[in-house]
Amino acid sequence: MSTIAQRLRDLFEFSYGQKVFLVASLPLVLAVTLISFVVTNQSRSLAEREIKGLEQQLIQAKRDELKNYLSIARTAIVNTYGLAGPTDEAAKLQVTQELSSMLYGQDGYFFVFDYEGNNLVAPRQTFLIGENWSGLEDVNGVPITDELIRIARSGGGYHSFDWPKPSDGVTERMFVYVNGLQDWRWVVGTGVFIGDILQTVADARADVEARIRQTSYYIVGIAIAALIGVFLSGMFINLRERRLADAKLKDLTQRIIDTQEEERGRVARELHDGINQMLVGVRYALELARRRLGLGDVRASESLGKGIDGLGGAIQEVRRISRDLRPGVLDDLGLGPALKVLIDDFSNRTGIDATFETVVFRNRLDEEARIALYRIAQEALTNIDRHAQATSIDASLKGQRNGALLRITDNGKGFKQTRKSGGLGLRNMQERIEQLGGTIRITSERAKGTTIEARVPLTHMLRPQEQKVKAP
């Protein structure tokens, strides 16, 4: 037994050189393995986030594109639809003709279904027209017609499914945006094919995997080379690998910082272009004042006053731009205080008497609804200032059983409502509230004033657990 134990001790007894090799190589092997694991996982994680970000940006661009297309279509038919009744067949025929003629791109068109599933408009695929397509599904079993009707009934939104392209008949993923003409019980929508986006994302993922594999091969090769030359350059290679990893992380950090700076530069240029002339004038006035002071000219104070006035104007311009872009009180205190500030400023600026009443309701509005109602109030006050010739206005914001209601009434000259009445401002109001699934009602009489009522449904009221301790 002692002989066996002795042989085992001899077997595992290392020479000095072997001990040095193990001491030098084992940390190196562990370090290289750890670096390989961390770099691979970090690279894959960062690349996946970038790919998802790219995909989201491309999809969001398509979503915005669809919304713009549908907004154009609604603008084209808003007068006909807005003045027609639920059974006005002549108006319905006119609207279907207008939508059928609105084609864009190689495969772009507008489609219409009624709530029973009957297709009314499909200019690039006319075989659909006049048929009932309830229960229609794509090749993967995704419901199409019934889901589009459901989305339109709930106020509008997006849906995606596989559908043959009109240009070549090849089935491809289609992204659609629909909205509802509730009075006519119609689904109006349009869509784009996103096969190019999916292919771009797939190519990006394949390229990332190839690069990760290539990086892994590099790391393994470096590790083998390091093990072969460990007695001479073990520590050097180990440090070198760590520096390479740090360099990659620093490069990524620098790219993020550069991206942020580029965006900040863009915003800075926009602000600079708006107030540049004011600041140039201020500088000229101050330099003139300095020269006159040096010469003892009594007009120095006059130049200094002009410079101060110009600087004050520039400050006010910056504040105005900032407030118009996004009033801070809207985020800090809520919609009620923001409207109060807006109406008070309007009254002070125009001299029109204004009253505002609001009641704190139990659930707060979500951000989308707050912004929409605030912009509607801005547009309404602008129209009153420009056209109404009013001496007083009454505004209120209240919560009701079926949602939130913003009402603005003036005692101005009013206007006669016709099919062609309503400029771009009123259309913007209509589109903003319709995107929320709400309604807007405008009543006006000659010499009796105008009333605007914008109603947001309960779907845009936050749940109790999502509330913040702020006014509505």
pLDDT per position as a tens digit, 271-287 = 566 566 667 777 667 77
140-175 tens-digit pLDDT:
999 999 999 999 999 899 999 999 988 888 899 888
**Residue 181: closest CA among 64, 96, 62:** 96
As given in the structure block, the two tokens for residue 439 are 């309604």
Domain ranges for the chain: 84-197, 273-323, 327-466
pLDDT band of residue 232 (cuts 50, 70, 90) is low
CB 420 within 8 A of CB 83: no
**How many CA within 13 A on the CB side of residue 318?**
15
Residue 233 amino acid letter: S
> Contact 112/139 with Cβ under 8 angstroms?
no
Q: Higher pLDDT residue, 210 or 460?
A: 210
Q: pLDDT grade, residue 470 (50/70/90)? A: very low
How many whole angstroms separate alpha carbon 235 and alpha carbon 317? 61
What integer is the mean pLDDT of 466-470? 47
Selecting from 3.40.50.720, 3.90.260.10, 3.20.20.60, 3.30.450.20, what CATH number does the domain 84-197 have?
3.30.450.20
How far apart are alpha carbons 106 and 109 in whole angstroms?
Answer: 9
Strand partners, 193: 174
327-466 is a CATH 3.40.50.300 domain: no
Predicted local confidence at residue 263, as pLDDT: 44
The pLDDT tens digits for 314-351 are: 777 666 666 655 666 677 777 888 888 888 888 888 88
pLDDT digits (tens, 9 = 90+) for 281-315: 776 677 777 777 777 776 767 777 777 777 777 77
DSSP secondary structure string, 54-118?
HHHHHHHHHHHHHHHHHHHHHHHHHHHHHH--TT-HHHHHHHHHHHHT--BTTTB-EEEEETTSB
User: pLDDT tens across 344-357, in order?
Assistant: 888 888 888 989 98
Q: What is the DSSP secondary structure assignment for residue 385, as one 8-state letter?
A: I
* 339-353 per-residue burial string, b: 16 or more CB within 10 A, e: under 16: bbbbbeebbeeeebe
* Contact in structure between 453 and 441 (CB atoms under 8 Å): yes
Assess whether the region 84-197 and the region 327-466 belong to the same CATH fold. Answer: no
State the residue for tokens 């919304």: 67
Most confident by average pLDDT, 62-71, 193-202, 302-311, 396-405: 62-71
Q: Is residue 197 a contact partner of residue 172, using CB atoms and an 8 Å limit?
A: no
**C-alpha closest to that of 335 among 460, 439, 154:** 460
Quote the pLDDT of residue 5.
Answer: 57
- Give the model's pLDDT for residue 119: 94
Tokens coding 324: 């118009």
Mean pLDDT of 4-18: 55
What distance in Å separates the CA atoms of residue 55 and residue 61, rounded to the nearest whole number? 10
- Each residue's pLDDT tens digit, 28-65: 677 777 777 777 777 777 777 777 777 788 788 888 88
Q: Tell me what the pLDDT averaged over the chain comes to.
A: 77
To 5 degrees, how large is the angle CA 393–CA 399–CA 404? 80
Distance, in Å, from the CA atom of 192 to the CA atom of 106, rounded to the nearest integer, reads 10
Structure tokens at 411: 């005692």
The DSSP symbol for 132 reads B
pTM score of the predicted model? 0.39
Share of the chain above pLDDT 70, in %: 73
The continuous run of DSSP H or E covering 238 comes out as helix 230-295
pLDDT of residue 468: 47
- Average pLDDT of 210-229? 73
